[in-house]
Structure 1
Amino acid sequence: MLGRLRDLLAALTAFVVGGFLAWHYPLGHITATTLFVATGLLAYYRLSWFLVIVPALLPVVGFAPWTGWLTFEEIDLIVLGMASGGYARMFVDHPPGGSSRRSWLLPVLSLLMGLSVLASLVRGFADAGGFSFGWFQGYDGPMNSIRIGKSFFLALLLLPLLRQLLRDPQEANGGKLAWGMAIGLGTASLAALWERLAFTDLLNFSSDYRSTALFWEMHVGGAALDGWLLLATPFAIWAVRNSRTWPQQLFSVGLIIIGAYAALTTFSRGVYLALIVALPLLAWQTRHLAGLESAQPHQQTWGPLRWTMALATLGAMAFAVFSGGGYRGLMALMGVVVAALSMPAVLRGIKPGQYFVGMVIGLIAGGMIILFAGLVAKGPYIAYSVLFAGMLALLYWSKRRLTSDRYISCTAAFAALSLSAVHVAFHWGGGEALWGMLGAMAAVIAVVSRGVFSANPIWPSDIRWQANFFGGGVAICAVVAVFVGGGYVGERFATSEKDLDGRFDHWNLSMSMLQDELDVLFGKGLGRYSANYFYAIPDNKFPGTYQIIKEQEKKSLSLVAPRRGISFGDALRVSQRLDFDATGPFEATLQVRARSGATITVEVCEKHLLYAAKCAIGQAKLKPNEELQSAHVQLKGDLLGYGPWYAPRAKVFSVAVANRSGLAEIDTIVLTTLGGTNLLKNGDFDLDMQNWFFSSDRDHMPWHAKNILVNVVFDQGLVGLLVFSLLVGAAILRLAFGQFRQHELAPFLLAAIVGFLVVGMFDSLIDTPRLAFIFYLLVLLALIPNNHSAKHRARNLAH
């Protein structure tokens, strides 16, 4: 009876809160409310789908730059909709409690963490001067405490639903969650890919443009994308291991490839370090699962040492090829590797004489193809592409029809493809590229020859294993390309010692803001970091601020500049997204009060979040005056572009105070194309910050503690740190050494949590609500007792 009452109350509470939020959604309350109700209905009938939907959408459903909301976001509506429908179904069905034994660990640690978060929430309200509700409060208001605190309670809200879904092993709901996380890696990485295509070249690793994807929380710096990549990458590896069809395998390998690209283009040393820690840990923890799989007929596996040696060798070949042959040579090398992986299985049983004849025929044919290819524009690339496609078709046909003539034909095609790869590298890089590719091809042919004539296969013929190897090879090649072909990575590592010293100074400053024993024990309160930082730093480090002020029923934007010299990247901007087709020319009209005088900069830039490309800029210098002044500014600069059709460039209007310590009260802003209509919404600020969004493009320290443990101590004190450590530590111990270690997801959960914490050594992470939500959800999942083991999975695989 109590269980049903809990379900009813949870369903009603989630529905009421979610409906209230949806009805006030800034971009359309009717649409948002309709979608929220539809989400609840879908959860009622297909709750398990949300194990995929929530993590898959989490990285891409943040629209704060358009809505102006900071406290609430779209993922809250999805989670509350899932909870309302899921608990309603549990109330109606009243599922049995099951035979799972009870454990004190999860409820006790959840209770302690919940109490700590609640206590810090109250302290946050008190530190802000009391609670006041507002839809568009910034990081210095009391609503920021709710923004930070909601994450743990949203995860806790889903815990009974998650536990119920995982009770039935036949439904494979754990696998659905893993697929959701893997797809979430893909959605985040696709967003990063769009960003790179739109604002830099795909293969430009020398500029200082660091990917942010659709994590708007990085508008004041931070590492939201970094943390998400570490949480999701292990599950993409799970997807590769558990794909059963070639489309699934191709899809999951694609996730690994674009995920590796996204990770590399963060240019984050924390990401690189976390991957170095998490991936070997994952390989070590999965060794017993590999043993279970290899116990089945016709299954083989490699240990970590052999994997390391093989990928290191491939990395050395990639380095030799890329140094002279560039990306074209690297792609040609990987094409030959793809073919080489299948050669030993196809040529099993070939005689040495046949192998020799095939090689000679292939080299002669390849030489003739090279001669003809030199007569055609881009001939080497065309010839290689045709040979590669023919090689794949021949390998596929040979595997299906094991005829004796496959021996010479496959060997000849492989030799011709290898020679064509050398030609591609030479065509691009000349003699410098020739020797590197020749050495790489000699090594590949030697390894293939060893595999062909070995008494036992030296690597598995299973297509999934080969896809795993190819994915790892692509990641290795990407690392080589970034470190060899891009100067920015070298610059990042060259300043590591200096940056680390700066981090220590910042952490010491953060701890010094805890001024009494209560602060030390229980923290300043959730979400109070930036507000306290403003008062703790020297005047010349003040980053600027903004707020909506109200005088005589009229609202205006108060904008304060940093108290130091301001470069283009240092300004505190208040911005609004424009349509993609806004190209200019632009003119702006402002009504401003500048009591001490101010220089106002207005700009429209091709910009996603932090990094501007082409801009149209104008300035207005206002004299000191207590009254409103009208400023008319024509923005100067080239017409903005749309960008490629597959990666259009976003356009952003921004306003900032450009003079040191300047203060301006902006009453109205109108932006038009010459003689056109107003492009801005809520330009009079009557709706507070709706449709507006602020950013600090370069100055990030004032907004983050820059360490997850320092962040917990500041928000929740030493008591909160103890509870947080117990919660996360218990999850790690259970995944690494406890009964849950036998679960198929355990190694991947462990790698995700540990990788996240490694990134968290250099950034706060849990001050990003949607990231904190999924982190806490995975931690709580690891503490659910009596999950089904990998032995059950192995039995399923055997059938």
Structure 2
Amino acid sequence: MSAVGTAPAAGPLGLGALQLRLPTTRLQWLGLAAGLGLGATGAELAWHHPLSGALALAAWGACVLLAALLWVKTPLLVFAPLPLIGLAPWSGWITFEELDLLVTACGCGGYLAYALQLNARDRAPAWRHGLVYSPAVVLLILALALSAAWSVKRGFADAGGFQFGWFHGYHEPMNAVRNAKAIFLVLALLPLWTAAAAARPRGFSRGLLLGLVLALAGGCAAALWERMAYTGLLDFSTDYRTTALFWEMHVGGAALDGFLVMTLPFALLALLRTRSPWRFGIGLAVALLAAYAVLTTFSRGVYLALPLALLPMVLLADAQRRRVAASGPESSGLDSTLGAVDAPLPRLAKLGALAMAGAFALAAVLVFGGGGYRGLMALLFVMLVLLAMPASLWLPGFSQRLTALLMGGVLALLLGGASWALSMAVPKAAYVLNFIALLCCAGLRLRDAPGRSRPVYVLLVTTAWFWLLSTMVIVADYWGGTTGRWTAFAAGLALAGVFAAMLLEQRLWPLQGASNTGVAGWRKRALLVAGLLLVMAVVALAGGGGYLRDRLASWKEDGQTRLTHWHDGLHLLHGAEQWLLGKGSGRFVASNFYEGPTEAQVGDYRLRTDEGEAFLALTGGRHMLGRGEQFRVSQRIAVPAPGPVTLRLTSRTASDANLILQICEKNLIYPDHCHGTEQTLKPLRDASAPADSPGRWVTQQFDLGTVPALGGDWWAPRFVTFSMALNTRGARVDVSRIAIHDSQGRALLVNGDFNREMAHWFFSSDRHHMPWHMKNAALHVLFEQGLVGVALLGAAFVLVLARLSFGRGRDHPLAPAFVAALIGFATVGSFDSLLDAPRIGFLFFALLMLGLGLRALPGEGVARVA
């Protein structure tokens, strides 16, 4: 995995402003071969894209050119669009997808630029290489790749032998490729990334970080659109879990969950370390947007994963700062263009920060429970004023501060009592008094005289803040009555106690010191305010969102369901060979269908031919069928014109079958505003035909009803989808042709005769998800690759965590985020397979492989890459 940089070469080829040189080293010739091989593969895939081969090829070529120009930063090009490039609901592709096109384009352009020495630069010395793989690690990576390749071979064998297909489903041989390809896509780019990290280690790290942050921003923007379009931003009670644009969740799964926990740590680390005001503002917006996306997943796994992942990240980042501080400014060796490292927070200040956070969290729960949203808003004002306290409060001596605290408390009690009486006498006075107290606090903050000791000023500030605290209790009392009064009073006592302790012992104040003044101080305060908003959102969501309460209350039942599912899934492995080497990549769904319980016999589809004509064989599941449990074959269509919609269907069936035909507004798995019909199809046979024969083809026309204006608003458009599903257990209907016309006579379906196989057609199981996944990442690997695969992957995972926490890579700027991302993946992966979603698997294996070689440059410390 070692990389050799470009060397001087004779015979440059002039192409305008570009200077290309023929390869001069063995690795450059290998890079040329890799680039040409990836180019041929990518061009072939692009040309066969179901939507438009010409457009796909043009877009692929543009990516090749961009990757050639920015070959050092190909991680940026690969990761940034990752959550937005899944077009399967439009194209019908699941084995191959846009991820494959992107990787082959970046690999082709990057390797050709490296081999032909485009933008050539001198090779960095070995001690400046950002990615270094030891021989043992190289062997481990090769063993992982061999295990995955062997599982593909076994998957083909279990499926009846290799058979190529562009549109294979989960039961067919090419599903083995879909499930295993993620690691090979990463390995295709890893030598290029190693060369890039050798040529420009910091540029490579910046590209990696920026790519992951942009990916998070794109994924969260898609989640924001989905909530605006389908539920409303503040609707936390509807049974709707965000899926964004991760088509892999069409049969359930946790693709969005895994994506969030692996990218959010990098955005938070960048936010904590950037010094640019505009970057900080953008980073803060991305972090808040990500927090919203996390909350709307309603995923208990994500809620558990983030604390477990972010706590080690904070500790590792703090340990990095301490090592740099201990080395002294002369030996830190930081890149001067990236700024100095903040001094680590003293222990008492950390204790004070924890006390403040705990008091606010407790207060938020108490106030919201009795005082509702208005009480919670008043509490936010209290905390904002507290965080804006000037450093001059601690300039007077201890006795002066104690006197100001006691007198301020007494004066605030008098003001609070008068305010309470006024609020009882005058309607809405509670809100006015709270606003006046807030204005007094703001005015006093503006009258601060930095560096001057003014005991009277301390008294006034303390009195005003305590009065604001009392008006918060009054607001809660006015809104919630007796319950609101006493819960808010308890919350106020907790906050008053914390502030009193911090005023008397200045070492407890987390924003005290030179590093917390000026721009740096307001930057930290902005982070704390963002944290307050997040805590408030969590409290409001848990207290006001019925769906989340139901999710949290059902954890025991869901846990038992998963244990049973894992037990049944492992019983599908037969014999020592399958336990050792696995049953094969992509074989869980088919094995579960044929050998599992009745609930696992979900519906399916196959593309067949009859006298040279293609048709779709659609079958219904044998489990209990309901509105969300039906297996649907669908196509995203243009928004139909309002009015009557007609459907023409050519089909046959061997027995009576109820076929549901619907047009709905639907992103992925939650249909809404559906209009359609349910028809009972009966077999039509000749008198001499056997009773179990499929019957003759019958053409019928149905009315789907009068469809109103669909598609949502222009600023939050909704996708419109046509779907067909069987509502009869175990039934089969063959569909030869299907066409839909709206009130203006426009044809809404493409490839309705299936002569282009399953192009434009997609499938989903909206709520019956267990049969499609092992629901545990480790058990998923065990099923597909056996104990050997689990041991190899587990060894690589532990090795990465060890070397980035305690080993050679621990001082790399991104090491804490890598550790947090992998811990988050493992936590969410305890409850879902994750690796059966190629984009999530690609992101995981990229972080894993990079983590195995990542190391800090000598003297780098924690130089920022943000």
TM-score between the two structures when normalised by the length of structure 2: 0.83
- Bigger-Rg structure (1/2): 2
Tell me the distance in 2 between the aligned counterparts of 1:316 and 1:572. 45
- Structure 1 window deviating more from structure 2 (212-221 vs 288-297): it is 288-297
Q: Quick one: which amino acid aligns to residue 65 of structure 2? A: L
Distance 1:315 1:746, change over 3 A: same
- Structure 1 window deviating more from structure 2 (3-12 vs 463-472): it is 463-472
Matched, 1:9 2:23: no
Partners of 1:561 and 1:661 within 8 A in 2: yes
Alpha-carbon shift at residue 386 of structure 1 (Å): 10
Partners of 2:356 and 2:498 within 8 A in 1: no
Matched, 1:20 2:44: yes
Matched, 1:597 2:656: yes
Alpha-carbon shift at residue 240 of structure 1 (Å): 2.0
Q: Secondary structure at the match of 2:368?
A: helix
Distance 1:241 1:592, change over 3 A: same
Matched, 1:34 2:58: yes
Matched, 1:118 2:149: yes
Counterpart among 106, 120, 126 of residue 99 in structure 1? 126
Matched, 1:245 2:296: no
Alpha-carbon shift at residue 559 of structure 1 (Å): 0.5
Q: Quick one: which amino acid aligns to residue 845 of structure 2? A: Y
Tell me the distance in 2 between the aligned counterparts of 1:29 and 1:389. 63
Tell me the distance in 1 between the aligned counterparts of 2:450 and 2:35. 55
Tell me the distance in 2 between the aligned counterparts of 1:796 and 1:631. 67
The one-character-per-residue Cα deviations of 1:328-381 (angstroms, maximum 9, x if unpaired) are 433443343233212133655477699979997999899999999x999x9988
Partners of 1:260 and 1:475 within 8 A in 2: yes
Tell me the distance in 2 between the aligned counterparts of 1:298 and 1:536. 59
Alpha-carbon shift at residue 134 of structure 1 (Å): 1.9
Distance 1:593 1:247, change over 3 A: same
Q: Secondary structure at the match of 1:710?
A: helix
Partners of 1:106 and 1:780 within 8 A in 2: no
Matched, 1:200 2:231: yes
Q: Secondary structure at the match of 2:680?
A: strand
Q: Quick one: which amino acid aligns to residue 126 of structure 2? A: S
Tell me the distance in 1 between the aligned counterparts of 2:565 and 2:546. 27
Q: Residue 806 of structure 2 corresponds to which residue in structure 1?
A: 737
Q: Residue 725 of structure 1 corresponds to which residue in structure 2?
A: 794
Q: Quick one: which amino acid aligns to residue 338 of structure 1? A: L
Matched, 1:319 2:387: no
Matched, 1:472 2:531: yes
Q: Secondary structure at the match of 2:717?
A: coil
Alpha-carbon shift at residue 313 of structure 1 (Å): 1.6
Distance 1:569 1:452, change over 3 A: same
Q: Secondary structure at the match of 2:390?
A: helix
Distance 1:226 1:332, change over 3 A: same
Following superposition of structure 1 onto structure 2, how do residues 144-293 of structure 1 map, counting pairs within 5 Å?
144-167=175-198, 171-292=202-323
Q: Quick one: which amino acid aligns to residue 39 of structure 1? A: C
Partners of 1:366 and 1:420 within 8 A in 2: no
Counterpart among 546, 556, 580 of residue 487 in structure 1? 546
Alpha-carbon shift at residue 695 of structure 1 (Å): 0.3
Q: Residue 678 of structure 1 corresponds to which residue in structure 2?
A: 747
- Structure 1 window deviating more from structure 2 (487-496 vs 102-111): it is 487-496
Tell me the distance in 1 between the aligned counterparts of 2:440 and 2:634. 53
Q: Residue 87 of structure 1 corresponds to which residue in structure 2?
A: 111
Q: Quick one: which amino acid aligns to residue 28 of structure 1? A: S
Q: Residue 334 of structure 2 corresponds to which residue in structure 1?
A: none
Counterpart among 58, 63, 70 of residue 87 in structure 2? 63
Matched, 1:646 2:700: no
Distance 1:172 1:297, change over 3 A: closer
Alpha-carbon shift at residue 294 of structure 1 (Å): 6.4
Q: Residue 699 of structure 2 corresponds to which residue in structure 1?
A: 630
Q: Secondary structure at the match of 2:160?
A: coil
Q: Residue 511 of structure 1 corresponds to which residue in structure 2?
A: 570
Q: Quick one: which amino acid aligns to residue 88 of structure 1? A: L
Distance 1:417 1:551, change over 3 A: farther
Q: Quick one: which amino acid aligns to residue 668 of structure 2? A: L
Seq. identity, %: 36
Distance 1:383 1:141, change over 3 A: farther
Q: Quick one: which amino acid aligns to residue 248 of structure 1? A: R
TM-score between the two structures when normalised by the length of structure 1: 0.89
The one-character-per-residue Cα deviations of 1:126-183 (angstroms, maximum 9, x if unpaired) are 2222222222111112221111222101111221222233336773532432333233
Partners of 1:620 and 1:632 within 8 A in 2: no
**Number of aligned residues:** 795
Q: Quick one: which amino acid aligns to residue 737 of structure 2? A: T
Counterpart among 556, 572, 577 of residue 615 in structure 2? 556
Q: Residue 747 of structure 1 corresponds to which residue in structure 2?
A: 816
Matched, 1:142 2:173: yes
Counterpart among 760, 763, 772 of residue 694 in structure 1? 763
Partners of 1:582 and 1:651 within 8 A in 2: no
The one-character-per-residue Cα deviations of 1:439-482 (angstroms, maximum 9, x if unpaired) are 54565466456545654471123234333333333333233223
Q: Quick one: which amino acid aligns to residue 63 of structure 1? A: L
Distance 1:237 1:673, change over 3 A: same
Matched, 1:782 2:782: no
Matched, 1:463 2:518: no
Partners of 2:321 and 2:862 within 8 A in 1: no
Tell me the distance in 1 between the aligned counterparts of 2:137 and 2:295. 36
Partners of 2:661 and 2:676 within 8 A in 1: yes
Q: Residue 792 of structure 1 corresponds to which residue in structure 2?
A: 860
Tell me the distance in 2 between the aligned counterparts of 1:136 and 1:573. 16
Alpha-carbon shift at residue 568 of structure 1 (Å): 0.7
Tell me the distance in 1 between the aligned counterparts of 2:460 and 2:201. 46
- Structure 1 window deviating more from structure 2 (674-683 vs 443-452): it is 443-452
Q: Residue 333 of structure 2 corresponds to which residue in structure 1?
A: none
Q: Secondary structure at the match of 1:729?
A: helix
Alpha-carbon shift at residue 15 of structure 1 (Å): 1.5
Partners of 1:344 and 1:452 within 8 A in 2: no
Alpha-carbon shift at residue 28 of structure 1 (Å): 2.3
Tell me the distance in 2 between the aligned counterparts of 1:276 and 1:459. 21
Alpha-carbon shift at residue 315 of structure 1 (Å): 1.0
Q: Secondary structure at the match of 1:767?
A: coil
Tell me the distance in 2 between the aligned counterparts of 1:381 and 1:603. 51
Partners of 1:340 and 1:444 within 8 A in 2: no
Q: Residue 576 of structure 1 corresponds to which residue in structure 2?
A: 635
Partners of 1:367 and 1:419 within 8 A in 2: no
Partners of 1:190 and 1:258 within 8 A in 2: yes
Alpha-carbon shift at residue 483 of structure 1 (Å): 2.3
Q: Quick one: which amino acid aligns to residue 294 of structure 2? A: A
Q: Residue 51 of structure 1 corresponds to which residue in structure 2?
A: 75
Tell me the distance in 2 between the aligned counterparts of 1:184 and 1:386. 44
Distance 1:593 1:167, change over 3 A: same
Superposed CA RMSD in Å reads 3.6
Q: Residue 691 of structure 2 corresponds to which residue in structure 1?
A: none
Tell me the distance in 1 between the aligned counterparts of 2:641 and 2:433. 43
Alpha-carbon shift at residue 210 of structure 1 (Å): 1.5
Partners of 1:549 and 1:556 within 8 A in 2: yes
Q: Quick one: which amino acid aligns to residue 187 of structure 1? A: G
Distance 1:380 1:155, change over 3 A: farther
Q: Secondary structure at the match of 1:777?
A: helix
Alpha-carbon shift at residue 409 of structure 1 (Å): 9.2
Distance 1:157 1:503, change over 3 A: same
Following superposition of structure 1 onto structure 2, how do residues 319-338 of structure 1 map, counting pairs within 5 Å?
319-338=365-384
Alpha-carbon shift at residue 557 of structure 1 (Å): 1.3
Tell me the distance in 1 between the aligned counterparts of 2:825 and 2:66. 31
Tell me the distance in 2 between the aligned counterparts of 1:92 and 1:264. 48
Matched, 1:76 2:100: yes
Partners of 1:103 and 1:785 within 8 A in 2: no
Alpha-carbon shift at residue 310 of structure 1 (Å): 3.0
Q: Quick one: which amino acid aligns to residue 320 of structure 1? A: L
Partners of 1:260 and 1:478 within 8 A in 2: no
Partners of 2:251 and 2:766 within 8 A in 1: yes
Alpha-carbon shift at residue 316 of structure 1 (Å): 0.4
The one-character-per-residue Cα deviations of 1:254-280 (angstroms, maximum 9, x if unpaired) are 333232222222222222222242222
Distance 1:286 1:795, change over 3 A: closer
Alpha-carbon shift at residue 694 of structure 1 (Å): 0.2
